[in-house]
Amino acid sequence: MVVLEALTIKPPAPPFDSRRHWRACLMWAGAGLAADQGIKAWVASSLDLGEQVFVTSWFNIVHVLNPGAAFSFLADAGGWQRWCLVVVGVAVSIVLAWWLRRGVASRLEAAAYVGLIGGALGNVVDRLRLGAVVDYLDLHWRGMHWPAFNLADILVVGGAGLLLLASFVPGGARRA
């Protein structure tokens, strides 16, 4: 009888559809947001603003505030960028959550949206709470420092990378 069971053909699993998993996707985005905020709270409570902790010859933990966007873009724009970036972050998150609810057929695209939502909202919370984003990861080499960043930034860049990758995978179109 073992041979008979081994020869039984099982029907294929149904294809992925985010409409069945959109709540779980939003929970994962919330987990990314919570992890980002938890690490930022730890950094803010452990390090004074501007302080850095040597970790390796190419990596430090720092505590800096960035009122701008990526690479401190718009950092000295006069304050309007805070509200503009909050509106953009919230609007993009709402649209992506709606697309997840409406249905995407690719796990890769759903994972991209999860990262983008979690990361965007992680930085939105900072902007609303502090007027700037807490950055704490500092990569450097021979005196040259990459702009400091945080987990939310990693989620956004990772989500964008997954979305780019998903665009090359056939069969991942959004459902109507």
What are the pLDDT digits (tens) for 10-59? 777 667 777 788 889 999 999 999 999 999 999 999 999 999 999 999 99
Give pLDDT, residue 81.
74
Report whether 126 contacts 69 (CB < 8 A).
no
Q: Which residue in this structure is represented by tokens 């990693």?
A: 154
In the annotation, is 135 catalytic?
yes
In the annotation, is 36 catalytic?
no
Which among 36, 126, 138, 153 is annotated as catalytic?
153
Instruction: Tell me which residue of 121, 98, 96, 120 sits closest to 109, measured CA to CA.
Output: 96
Which among 36, 126, 135, 138 is annotated as catalytic?
135
pTM for the model: 0.83
Where does residue 157 rank: exposed (0-12), middle (13-18), buried (19+ CB within 10 A)?
middle
